[in-house]
Homo-oligomer: A and B are copies of this chain.
Amino acid sequence: MRAQKKSAPNNERLAEIYRAAAQIILRKGYDATSVNDIANALGMTKAGLYHYINGKKELLFDIMNFGLWELDEEVAAPAKALSDPAARLRFIVDAHARLVTRGQGAITILVDEVTALTPAQQRKITQRKRAYFDFLRGTLDELRAAGKLQDVDTTAATFSLLGMINWLSRWFRQGGALNEEQAAEQIVRIALHGLVREQGVRSQKSVVRMAPPRPR
C-alpha cells in the first residue's frame, strides 16, 4: 500500500501542502477544487504538485486520515484517561470544538466528503469515524448508567453533538464576536444543559462563566 511515487519527498513541505489543500477544499468543497487551485495556492504548477501527490483522491484520503489522527491525539486519547463520564463528556465536547475553531484543525470536517473516495478508502475512513462515534456514544451510555443522562436516545444525541460541533466550522470566524475559548464554552453549555432554563429550579451548579477552570 501507499506506494511511494518516486523517491521520498520532503516531509515538511508535504505537511504544508496538506494544510493548504485542506483549507481550500474546506472552503470550496472537494469537487469544486481543482488540482490547479491547490498548486497555485502553493505557488507552483499542477505538474510540480504532482511531484508530491499521487492523485487528487489520494490527497483527500491522506488529509482525512491526518484530520482523524489529530482528533484522536487531541480529543479521544486524552479523554480516555478520564474515568468519570460526565467529566469526559465535557472534555470531549470542549476539546473537539476547540479543534474545529482552531481553523487549521477544521480538517476533521471534510471527512464528510467521504463519497469522493474509492470504496476501499471510504471503508477505512468510515471505520475510523465510527470508532470515534462509538467512543462518544459509549460515554453517553456510561452517563445513563450513572443516572446522569437526560431521557434521550444516545445515538441521536451523539449525532446531534457532532452536528453542533461540526457546524462550528461554518459560522465561527477568527476575530469575530467570540474567540475560540468562548465558542467552545458556549457549545459545551448548550450541549450539556440545553437552552431552556427549568422554571423555579435554579439549576445553579456554580456556572463559572468564562475562562478560569478550563483544562487545556
User: Which residues of A pack against B, CB within 8 Å?
Assistant: 27-32, 86, 89, 112-113, 115-116, 140, 143, 147-153, 155-157, 159-168, 170-171, 177-178, 182-183, 186-187, 189-199, 201, 203, 205, 207, 209, 213-216
Inter-subunit contact B112/A195 (CB<8 Å): no
Inter-subunit contact B203/A201 (CB<8 Å): yes
Inter-subunit contact B194/A150 (CB<8 Å): yes
Inter-subunit contact A195/B150 (CB<8 Å): yes
In the bound complex, CA of A163 to CA of B195 (Å):
14
Inter-subunit contact B115/A186 (CB<8 Å): no
Inter-subunit contact A162/B157 (CB<8 Å): no
In the bound complex, CA of A192 to CA of B157 (Å):
12
Q: Which of A153, A178, A216 has the most CB of B within 10 A?
A: A153
Q: Which of B31, B147, B148, B160 contacts A31 (CB 8 A)?
A: B31
Residues of B within 8 A of A171 (CB): 159
CB of A175, distance to nearest CB on chain B (Å): 15
Residues of B within 8 A of A170 (CB): 112, 159, 163
Known: A143-B195, A156-B186. 13 other contacts (CB 8 A): A89-B196, A149-B196, A149-B197, A150-B189, A150-B190, A151-B213, A155-B177, A160-B186, A163-B168, A191-B194, A193-B193, A198-B198, A198-B205
Inter-subunit contact A214/B28 (CB<8 Å): no
In the bound complex, CA of A157 to CA of B168 (Å):
11
Inter-subunit contact B151/A207 (CB<8 Å): yes
CB of A34, distance to nearest CB on chain B (Å): 10
CB of A193, distance to nearest CB on chain B (Å): 4
Inter-subunit contact A215/B153 (CB<8 Å): yes
Inter-subunit contact A192/B194 (CB<8 Å): yes
Residues of B within 8 A of A143 (CB): 195-196
Residues of B within 8 A of A209 (CB): 151
Residues of B within 8 A of A27 (CB): 115
